[in-house]
Structure 1
Amino acid sequence: MLLQERAPIFEDDTASTLGARTDNVAARLLVDAVEKIATGTAPRIPQDPAIATHWPRRRPEDGVIDWNRPSADVVRWIRALTHPYPGAFTHIGGQKLFIWEAVATTAPRGNVPGEILARDDDRLTIATCDGAVAATSFQWADQSNGMTSEGNVIARIRSAS
């Protein structure tokens, strides 16, 4: 490695916001690295394999939401896979539903993870192992415009379940 810098990850970060912040850091570090290489002052920092991260090639099934996880983990998963990435998804009535934004919420104990607990015009609440997640932006896989009308999604969910 030549240079590195830590970038904070905030609780409300998404793949897009974190990517924008780290892109800015990377651009600045690249300019600095080129200058150091040109002047012969570039450091050579060995990478510690114990803290190095490796990310395998993403497969389509990697986006599946595991409702057996705690609500906070599910929300982080959704935030990590949201735009510009392919998205986190679940299946409802045999149809693929992408969830782009969500928040953790409470729910009575004893619900089956993945069970739809509430449906209204702007959110879909789904049980997790320790509560629930309220999806606030979502779309069916066959919607081609990349945007969703939550009311239409809810109507399809009602007919699918």
Structure 2
Amino acid sequence: MPKTKLIFAGTPEFAAVSLQALIDSQDELNIDIVAVYTQPDRKAGRGQKVTQSAVKQVALAHGICVEQPETFSKAKEGGLVSRETLANYNADVMVVAAYGLILPVGVLNTPKLGCINIHGSLLPRWRGAAPIHRAILAGDTQTGITIMQMDKGLDTGDMLYKLACDIAETDTTASLHDKLAELGATAVKTVLADLPSYQAKAEKQDDNLANYADKLSKEEGQIDWNKPAGEIARQIRGMFPYPSTFSFINGKRVKVIESLPLNESQPTDEMAGTIISVGKKAILVACGKDSNDQGTTLRLTKLQFAGGKALTAEQICTGNKLNDGDKFDL
């Protein structure tokens, strides 16, 4: 039986995990990865050094041909060349994961079996760019991976397969990302083992249940201490590691990196934003009222002051960086 000719398109670590899994399973799945598509090399970090994507690094390590088109738009000369190059691979299917480049309908229809996407949510919940962040911010207790047949809409295609994953109360975007990256690799291997069958029983999405996970802005990271502690805790976890949460004390910016779960949270009558106590295990902060009209508290365990390194509660306590009664700006 001839091997399925496959093109992989993705850019960050989330996608690289699936690419590595497919490389390791080429014989098992009877596939041949003929090319890898990824974003052009970009400047990154403080030094603005030109950096290869995580996907490109995996592909080159295994001697796979890498393509990095700027566009597939027919309105641009480069886009026409990109489409011709893609067609010349004569692929049976393209697997897409966090690629970051718009794929027009003409591109989606180029592989014989179309393009399938590894999406980090249980569609139709959280279509769009930031499904992992938004799931935590919304207080979802479960998320997962959807393998979807791509169409011209934004994550609107028919669903081929789903794998669910619980969201722990300690999960950050970073930890949940890693869980879903592994789950995505498992899910796409399952589908590719019998792709025609999964396509034959594809399920349409209910647009009435859809939510859009817009890309996060840095401004969304500012903490409003008038909100209940539970909501602030989700904000801290959902914005970690990027774009991160922050507040101000006497006009000076403080990055809020980590807090403890709320299972031992205690009520308070203190004004929201007040630092009730600075201890070696945690910094107790008064927050807004809950549904019972009771003031809530949150225990912060890691902060970063402007121009400094991230500090634990113990380092802040012993260094007298904060004092009982200090107040975060509202």
TM-score under structure 2 normalisation? 0.42
Q: For 1:55, which of 206, 213, 226 is the aligned residue? A: 213
Determine if the alignment matches structure 1 residue 114 to structure 2 residue 262: no
Q: For 2:257, which of 100, 113, 116 is the aligned residue? A: 100
- 1:63-102 map, 5 Å: 63-83=221-241, 85-102=242-259
Give unmatched runs, 5+ long, in structure 2.
1-158, 289-294
- Give the superposition deviation at 1:149: 5.2
Q: 1:82 to 1:141 in 2, by over 3 A?
A: farther
- In 1, Cα distance between the equivalents of 2:321 and 2:169? 32
RMSD of equivalent CA atoms? 2.4
- Give the superposition deviation at 1:152: 4.8
- Give the superposition deviation at 1:122: 4.8
- Give the superposition deviation at 1:93: 1.5
CA offsets per residue over residues 55-109 of structure 1, 9 Å max, x none?
A: 11211111112212211222122122223x2322111121221222213432432
Aligned pair count reads 154
Q: Which residue of 2 aligns with 1:148?
A: 311
Give the conservation status (yes or no) of the 8 Å contact 1:92–1:157: no
Determine if the alignment matches structure 1 residue 22 to structure 2 residue 180: yes
Determine if the alignment matches structure 1 residue 32 to structure 2 residue 197: no
- In 2, Cα distance between the equivalents of 1:112 and 1:125? 13
Q: Which residue of 2 aligns with 1:42?
A: 198
- Give the superposition deviation at 1:141: 4.1
Q: For 1:135, which of 300, 308, 326 is the aligned residue? A: 300
- In 1, Cα distance between the equivalents of 2:229 and 2:213? 23
- In 2, Cα distance between the equivalents of 1:90 and 1:54? 27
Question: Which structure's residues are more often strand, by fraction?
Answer: 2
- Of structures 1 and 2, the one scoring higher in RCO (CA 8 A, sep 6+) is 1
CA offsets per residue over residues 24-54 of structure 1, 9 Å max, x none?
A: 11111122233333xx223322122233331
Larger radius of gyration between Structure 1 and Structure 2: 2
